[in-house]
Amino acid sequence: MKKLKFISALALVMGLAACDNYELPNPPGQTYPEPDGYFENSGLVMQSVTSTLNLTEANEANKFVTVATIKELIDFPASEGYVLEIDMQVGNDDAFSKSVIVNTVIDGDNVTVNPDILNGAIQSVMTKQPGTYDVPVRFAAYASRGTTRMRLGGVDATYCPETLNVVTLAPAKVMEQSYYLVPCDAAGNPDWSKAVVMLNTAGSGVSVYDNPEFALKFDVAEGASYYAKIAPASAYEAKDASQLLGGNAAEGGMSGKLGEYGAFKIPVSGSVLLTVNVESDLYTVNYAFEVLYPFSGSVKLENLMCLYTDNYINYTGVTAINRQWDIYTTPDKTGVRYYQSDATEAVKSEDGLSQSGDIATSGTRLRAPYEGNSLYWVDVNLVLQTYSMTAIREIAVIGDGNDWKFETAVQLTPSKDLRTWTATGVVIGKEFKLCCNGGWDINFGAGSDNGDGSYTIVMNGGNLPSTPGTYDVTVDFSSKPYTLTIK
């Protein structure tokens, strides 16, 4: 039996709600929402569950799963009209470095959760790959009355940290871990000897359920008629033509639907990138360019800062833009040219530093969000035909040499062409990196340490190691790899 005891008004301790404001480059995972206050002296005893939770069975039986039980509840203000509510935090590890909050339903002494919601929480913080997993969870309890929510036990109190053994829901669609491009003749007859495995766009070792997109770069001869189908690994290994996925092309032939169709034709020649999404059964054909050239104003080719790719889908980089610009696929401007799409309007951020939009091979010239010449971080996706850009107005050295504080980070001074940024007499501790615009939205850190005071740096890289001291700093964005040197 639960013990119910009621506290006096003197035992009620009100805590003011406040938002977390993390200034470190890697903030902690999600925490429980701030309550209106807390009951410091109110107590709760919960007990873990030891049985495996089979979400598929629970879902088929239309039942909630029990994730904990309530053994004791003391000093709870039920007489004041409060009711007990419990939230569960689902984490990817015991430190809850990545987590999500799940609402529970109290059924008698049982704390229960909708199996679909728990499955979604596991997918969001761990993986979408179906299977059996050990899932770290913990609980926060509240006394709720109307719109008021008071936390039990103190401002940071949690209960019953446990690891649930969970069998996740069966997938809505079964997908395989690898897929092949199989060349065919116009009638759809496969040439298995020329089949080529496609690569997961998120990299090797990634579950198809976490990233169902595959891509392959290949060459199509000028004037050739290239037809193909897609083979799941099982179909390729069995050489089973009946399991091949053909394509129903959209207008223009650059994209289409995968399914029980005939072979689809690649409508362009040269270096081609084929991307397939085996969850949504879509394919896209695009050019595979080594770099993109963002020409702006009177910038000479030798001074151009290009956009680079490692997957022929996303092209990213630091580049200088003076208001209007164009994206070219060749340095002599003879290749494909991308514009701002006339079908949609660009979207500018409230601070005027960022902008995103759609690109097309016809339209109007692209316009940068910031008036005048500025350095930008640019991301172009040629599969989705989108771009985003953010002005880099400030670059500063930040680290344990200044206690990771934005307000005292040492600002770098740009060269006239914005390709290099420098500062002298910078105090650097054991670790540091570059922050931009007084925040972490754009930052550069360790790609590699060359061991001689120079580093390659990448967007969102790790902290750069250093021997504490005072240094002159030079950052060079002229070409990849970007470099940072301290002397």
* From the candidate CATH numbers 1.20.1740.10, 3.90.79.10, 2.40.30.30, 2.60.40.3620, the one assigned to the domain spanning 179-287: 2.60.40.3620
| CATH for 9-167 (3.90.950.20, 1.10.150.650, 3.40.50.10810, 2.60.40.3640) | 2.60.40.3640
Measured CA to CA, the distance from residue 372 to residue 336 in angstroms comes to 26
| Residue 12 confidence (pLDDT) | 38
Q: Which two tokens stand for residue 479?
A: 């070409």
In which residue ranges of the chain is CATH 2.60.40.3620 found? 179-287, 395-486
Please give the structure tokens belonging to residue 164: 């649930």
Q: CATH second-level architecture of 395-486?
A: Sandwich (2.60)
Report residue 212 as tokens: 């169902």
- Cβ–Cβ under 8 Å, residues 368 and 331: no
Q: Are 70 and 111 in contact (CB under 8 A)?
A: yes
Q: What b-and-e string marks burial along 417-441, b requiring 16 or more CB atoms within 10 Å of the CB?
A: ebbbbebeebebeebbbbbbbeebe
Chain centroid to CA 236: 32
pTM over 0.85: no
Element containing residue 47 per DSSP (H, E): strand 43-48
Identify whether the C-beta of residue 477 lies closer than 8 Å to the C-beta of residue 420. Answer: yes
Q: What is the pLDDT along the chain (487 residues), one digit of tens a residue?
A: 333 333 333 233 333 333 333 344 544 567 788 888 888 877 899 999 999 999 999 999 999 999 999 999 988 999 999 999 999 999 999 999 999 999 999 999 999 999 999 999 999 999 999 999 999 999 999 999 999 999 999 888 999 999 999 999 999 899 999 999 999 999 999 999 999 999 998 888 999 999 999 999 999 998 899 999 999 999 999 999 999 999 999 988 999 999 999 999 999 888 999 999 999 999 999 889 999 999 998 778 888 999 999 888 899 999 999 989 999 999 999 888 999 999 999 999 998 899 999 999 999 999 999 888 899 999 999 888 899 999 999 999 999 999 999 999 999 999 999 999 999 999 999 999 999 999 999 999 998 888 888 999 999 999 999 999 999 999 999 999 999 999 9
Taking only the tens place, the pLDDT of each residue in 117-147 is: 999 999 999 999 999 999 999 999 999 999 9
Q: What is the location of CATH 2.60.40.3640 in the chain?
A: 9-167
DSSP class of residue 364 equals: B
For 203-243, the pLDDT digits (tens) are: 889 999 999 999 999 999 988 999 999 999 999 999 999 99
Instruction: Give the pLDDT score at 42.
Output: 76
Rounded distance between C-alpha atoms, residue 460 and residue 203, angstroms: 18
Residue 201: both structure tokens together: 């766009």
> What is the distance, to the nearest Å, from the Cα of residue 257 to the centroid of all Cα atoms in its chain?
26
Residue 287 phi, psi dihedral angles, 5° rounding: -70, 150
SS3 label, residue 59? helix
For residues 141 and 39, is the Cβ–Cβ distance under 8 A? no
Which amino acid is present at 175? M
- What local confidence, expressed as pLDDT, does residue 28 receive? 52
Cα–Cα nearest to 474, from 485, 460, 463: 485
Q: Domain 292-392 has what CATH class?
A: mainly beta
Which pLDDT does position 41 carry in this prediction? 76
| 300-327 per-position pLDDT tens digit | 888 899 999 988 889 999 999 998 999 9
Strand spans (E) along 108-186 = 110-113, 132-145, 148-152, 159-167, 179-184
